[in-house]
Amino acid sequence: MKAHVYVTLKSSVLDPQGQTIHNALRKIGYATVEGVRQGKYFVLNLAGGVTSEEARAAVEKIAREVLTNPVIEEFTYRIEE
Amino acid sequence: MKAHVYVTLKSSVLDPQGQTIHNALRKIGYATVEGVRQGKYFVLNLAGGVTSEEARAAVEKIAREVLTNPVIEEFTYRIEE
């Protein structure tokens, strides 16, 4: 079982990396892109015997306590059976 | 319209960041996690008048040419209408 965790900066937090990518894209001609935000992506491989509820609970705890800085970031996740 | 781009290291490439997170998780007691890989996550805001095919073409080109280092990374993406 795999868990995919997506960590992004809160929308109220400036994202200079995303802004830089956006500027670069504009310079090389991608006018259709109106904004870029960069985040982090984690794939967790979970042990075989875990139920999907246990996985959900563990992943949510890990994402909240280890992978995310709750002051400036938020996360979503997806469990892949 | 939004595009979500997920960039990961190829599975043949070592991921010391993911390994460090995995070790940390083990130390604090998350024995159900058997491996961690870290990647990057980008959200692109696309202009309103773009068709979903144009979006797909642009995002694929951007992901391949700008967001990914094809020697060591690969990407997937998802268009959100």
Looking at residue A63, which CATH number applies to its domain?
3.30.1280.10
Mean pLDDT of A27-47: 95
Pick the residue of A6, A25, A42 with the most B CBs within 10 A to test the interface with B by mutation.
Answer: A42
Using the 8-state DSSP alphabet, how is residue A11 labeled?
T
Residue A11: give the domain boundaries: 2-80
Cα-Cα-Cα-Cα dihedral sign, residues B56, B58, B64, B68: negative
State the pTM of this model: 0.92
CB contact at 8 A, B36 and A43: yes
Q: What pLDDT was estimated at residue A81?
A: 82
How many distinct structural domains can be found in chain B? 1
| Closest residue in A to B8 (Cα–Cα) | A41
Sorted by sequence, the CB contacts under 8 Å of residue B52 that are 6+ apart come out as B1, B79, B81
Backbone torsions φ then ψ of A22, nearest 5 degrees: -60, -45
Inspect the interface and report whether the beta carbons of A33 and B7 lie closer than 8 Å. no
Q: What pLDDT was estimated at residue B8?
A: 97
B49 pLDDT more than 90: no
Residue B75 β-bridge partners:
B7
A74 pLDDT more than 90: yes
B12 pLDDT more than 90: yes
Mean pLDDT of B67-81: 95
CB contact at 8 A, B37 and B8: yes
